């Protein structure tokens, strides 16, 4: 009994609703869907919906559909269709041969509208859009019936067919459901279900000049596909009575059960399509997949993995209450996913030359380096070492501050995986900038040799100059200014001028032969990086920083 009780408590409210439907025989299977409108690229919030719907279907041994809600040709493009399909597949949500388009059901939707007219449940209205809004009333005032509401069935059928045949201008007539203008739910006050719109559709071309409204089309699509549970976000809760009305009055058997959950909101990121579209059109970002955005394509280009997004969605959970999630949680998930999987490489982002004066000239030795100290299964690699190296500029100070344990004149440090070196001085240019640091090494202190003599407090990484590969590294910050907030007073985005830093003269060890787009690595002390899919070439590697190494985020914070 206790085990059974624990099983019920551990399930989220959606699973409890599904269990109830199955136990009461409402449905004998589970079928879910992800129904995006192809009017932009998907973002992190959509990832939650995709993984939730797919996860439910998988958990209950059911099926998952991908269906495009393409009923509004003004904003829809084939480019967006293709990007969405790629995103869903990348996340691992398998829809097999169940790829559907709402536009493929236009005839069935038209037939449903005719059925409603015949039943006296729909009428053709000549009011303008502004007049319809005025007649609708508000939360305090009941609506007023349209003067066209009581047209005969015959007249409505004739007018609706003429709408379909293109006899009226855009906006001249609409078809409205005939429900209840005094309903406390404004969505039920004779909503528009069809409008005249002469636009070429990406899928149906110019076949239709009338298009169904979303609130009418969506429940019909679900019903046609035998969706059992229509999982949607909270803003559709007030639309549920209309959803149920449409499937009932259109006489679908065993209609879907709509269940709402809270959207995913991330702190200080841009998810609104209109904002992203403006950033793209104003060339502020490098397209919808710019790594500073949180579109799924952008996260993929930045170096996030499907596993990290699945972990993130699991941590966020499913609730009925809207709330914001700290972006640091998403960063935590990618660190957790990559830290044991990826090799730790040496890369110098702000280089300064280090010369070991007593190291033999024209000598290169190859040192054994563990690919990942926390995961021995990743093995070892050979890294070249020589007289001249590159180190990070911040690893040398001519006049060290307190508790500075790296290179400064007279101090000894360990070169990671190599030898102890003692700084002897530096060279400067005419402006007083340090250009070369000099040191000597102790050949008895080779890493792995068993040396147990003196200890040093500092260890720095390096890249051998003679074999170093010059690369470009891109460092990202939030595209909006986190301290000032996302929006300015006029509603525009408050952009962070330092959201992208491009470092062109970085050096990496020569271990990247055969590296491909999206391959990721941990750069010692600098963070996790991946090879950019758009601008990188084998001759000129471009790395995007996925995330830095440290975070203040903790599970349960």
Q: Contact at 8 Å (CB) between 331 and 309? A: no
pLDDT of res. 556: 53
Residues in the chain: 557
CB atoms closer than 10 angstroms to residue 133: 11
The tokens for 226 are 């035998």
Give the start-end residues of each E strand in 191-283: 192-196, 210-212, 229-233, 257-261, 265-266
Q: What is the spatial distance between Cα 176 and Cα 154, in angstroms, rounded to a whole number?
A: 15
Tell which phi-psi region holds residue 76, choosing left (phi > 0), alpha (psi between -120 and 50) or beta. Answer: beta
Q: Contact at 8 Å (CB) between 173 and 125? A: yes
Helices (H), ranges, 126-262 = 129-136, 153-164, 214-224, 240-249
pLDDT of res. 449: 79
49-78, pLDDT tens digit by residue?
999 999 999 999 999 999 999 998 888 888
Among the ranges given (50-64, 150-164, 475-489), the one the predictor scored with the smallest mean pLDDT: 475-489
Residue with tokens 């719109």: 197
Facing residues of 500 across strands?
Answer: 476
Select from 12, 55, 51, 48 the least CA-distant residue to 30. 55
CA 307 remoteness from chain centre: 13
pLDDT over 50 (residue 3)? no
Q: What is the spatial distance between Cα 179 and Cα 245, in angstroms, rounded to a whole number?
A: 9
Instruction: Please list, in sequence order, all residues whose beta carbon lies within 8 angstroms of the beta carbon of residue 143, skipping any fewer than 6 positions away.
Output: 135, 136, 137, 181, 182, 183, 186, 189, 190
Identify the architecture of domain 347-461 in CATH.
Beta Barrel (2.40)
- Helix pair 106-118, 153-164: axis angle to 10 deg: 160
pLDDT over 80 (residue 405)? yes
Residues 102-129 have a mean pLDDT of 97
Overall pTM > 0.75: yes
Report domain 117-211's class: alpha beta
pLDDT of res. 552: 57
pLDDT of res. 554: 60
Q: What is the spatial distance between Cα 240 and Cα 245, in angstroms, rounded to a whole number?
A: 8
Residue with tokens 């500029």: 393
What band does 9 get if pLDDT is binned at 50, 70 and 90? very low
Helix, strand and coil content of the chain, in percent to the nearest 5, comes to 30, 25, 45
pLDDT over 70 (residue 17)? yes
Residues 284-301 have a mean pLDDT of 94
pLDDT of res. 557: 46
414-462, pLDDT tens digit by residue?
999 999 999 999 999 999 999 999 999 999 999 987 788 889 999 999 9
The DSSP letter of residue 467 is T
Facing residues of 176 across strands?
Answer: 123, 192
Handedness of CA 124, 127, 128, 129 (dihedral sign): negative
pLDDT over 70 (residue 270)? yes
Q: What is the spatial distance between Cα 234 and Cα 319, in angstroms, rounded to a whole number?
A: 10
Q: Contact at 8 Å (CB) between 65 and 98? A: yes
Residues 253-268 have a mean pLDDT of 91
What band does 305 get if pLDDT is binned at 50, 70 and 90? very high
pLDDT over 80 (residue 267)? yes
Residues 344-348 have a mean pLDDT of 97
Average pLDDT, the chain: 92
Burial of 24 (0-12, 13-18, 19+ CB in 10 A): exposed
Which residue would you say has higher pLDDT here, 281 or 224?
A: 224
What band does 10 get if pLDDT is binned at 50, 70 and 90? low
Q: What is the spatial distance between Cα 108 and Cα 46, in angstroms, rounded to a whole number?
A: 28
pLDDT of res. 480: 86
CA 258 remoteness from chain centre: 25
Pairing of the two strands 527-531 and 520-523: antiparallel
What band does 7 get if pLDDT is binned at 50, 70 and 90? very low
pLDDT of res. 551: 67
Q: Contact at 8 Å (CB) between 262 and 320? A: yes
Cα–Cα distances in Å, from 467 out to 142, 143, 387? Answer: 78, 77, 12
509-518, pLDDT tens digit by residue?
998 988 999 9
- Burial string for 144-166 (b: 16+ CB within 10 Å, else e) reads eebebeebeeeebeebbeebbee
Handedness of CA 354, 360, 361, 363 (dihedral sign): negative
pLDDT over 60 (residue 99)? yes
pLDDT of res. 483: 72
Q: Contact at 8 Å (CB) between 317 and 528? A: no
Q: Contact at 8 Å (CB) between 18 and 26? A: no
H or E element that contains 309? helix 306-316
Tell me where in the chain the CATH 2.40.240.10 domain(s) lie: 347-461
37-48, pLDDT tens digit by residue?
998 899 999 999
Tell me where in the chain the CATH 3.90.800.10 domain(s) lie: 117-211
pLDDT over 60 (residue 4)? no
77-92, pLDDT tens digit by residue?
889 999 999 999 999 9
């Amino acid at each position: 009994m206790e085990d059974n009780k624990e099983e019920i408590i551990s399930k989220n409210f959606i699973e409890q609703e599904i269990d109830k439907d199955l136990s009461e025989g409402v449905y004998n299977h589970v079928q879910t869907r992800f129904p995006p409108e192809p009017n932009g690229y998907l973002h992190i919030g959509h990832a939650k919906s995709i993984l939730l719907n797919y996860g439910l279907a998988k958990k209950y041994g059911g099926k998952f559909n991908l269906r495009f809600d393409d009923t509004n040709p003004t904003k829809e493009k084939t480019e967006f269709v293709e990007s969405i399909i790629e995103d869903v597949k990348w996340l691992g949500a398998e829809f097999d041969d169940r790829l559907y388009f709402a536009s493929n059901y236009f005839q069935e939707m038209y037939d449903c509208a005719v059925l409603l007219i015949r039943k006296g449940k729909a009428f053709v209205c000549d009011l303008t859009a502004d007049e319809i809004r005025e007649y609708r009333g508000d939360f305090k005032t009941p609506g007023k019936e349209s003067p066209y509401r009581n047209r005969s069935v015959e007249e409505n059928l004739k007018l609706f067919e003429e709408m379909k045949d293109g006899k009226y201008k855009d906006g001249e007539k609409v078809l409205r459901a005939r429900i209840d203008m005094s309903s406390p739910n404004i969505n039920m006050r004779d909503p528009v279900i069809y409008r005249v719109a002469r636009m070429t559709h990406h899928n149906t071309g110019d076949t239709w000049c009338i298009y169904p409204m979303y609130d009418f089309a969506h429940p019909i699509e679900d019903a046609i596909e035998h969706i059992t549970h229509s999982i949607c976000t909270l803003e559709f809760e007030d639309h549920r009575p209309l959803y149920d009305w449409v499937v009932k009055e259109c006489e679908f058997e065993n209609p879907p059960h709509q269940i709402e959950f809270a959207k995913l909101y991330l702190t200080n990121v841009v998810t609104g399509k209109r904002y992203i579209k403006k950033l793209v059109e104003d060339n502020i970002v490098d397209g919808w997949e710019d790594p500073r955005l949180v579109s799924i394509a952008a996260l993929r280009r930045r170096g996030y993995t499907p596993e990290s997004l699945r972990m993130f969605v699991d941590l966020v959970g499913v609730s009925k209450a809207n709330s914001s999630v700290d972006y640091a949680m998403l960063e935590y998930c990618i660190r957790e996913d990559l830290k044991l999987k990826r090799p730790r490489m040496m890369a110098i982002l702000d280089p300064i030359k280090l010369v070991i004066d007593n190291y033999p000239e024209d000598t290169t030795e190859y040192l054994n380096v563990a690919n990942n100290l926390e995961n021995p299964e990743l093995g070892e690699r050979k890294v070249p070492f020589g007289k001249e190296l590159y180190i990070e500029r911040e690893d040398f100070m001519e006049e060290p501050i307190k508790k500075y344990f790296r290179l400064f004149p007279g101090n000894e440090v360990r070169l990671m995986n190599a030898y102890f070196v003692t700084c002897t001085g530096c060279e400067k240019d005419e402006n007083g900038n340090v250009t070369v640091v000099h040191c000597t090494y102790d050949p008895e202190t080779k890493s792995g040799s068993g040396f147990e003599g003196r200890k040093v407090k500092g260890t720095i990484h390096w890249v051998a100059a003679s074999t170093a590969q010059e690369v470009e590294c891109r460092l990202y910050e939030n595209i909006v200014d986190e301290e000032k907030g996302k929006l300015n007073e006029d509603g525009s985005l408050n952009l962070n001028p330092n959201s992208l830093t491009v470092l062109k003269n970085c050096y990496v060890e020569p271990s990247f032969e055969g590296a491909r787009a999206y391959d990721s690595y941990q750069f010692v002390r600098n963070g996790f990086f991946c090879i950019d899919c758009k601008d990188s070439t084998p001759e000129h590697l471009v790395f995007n920083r996925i995330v830095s190494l440290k975070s203040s985020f903790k599970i349960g914070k």
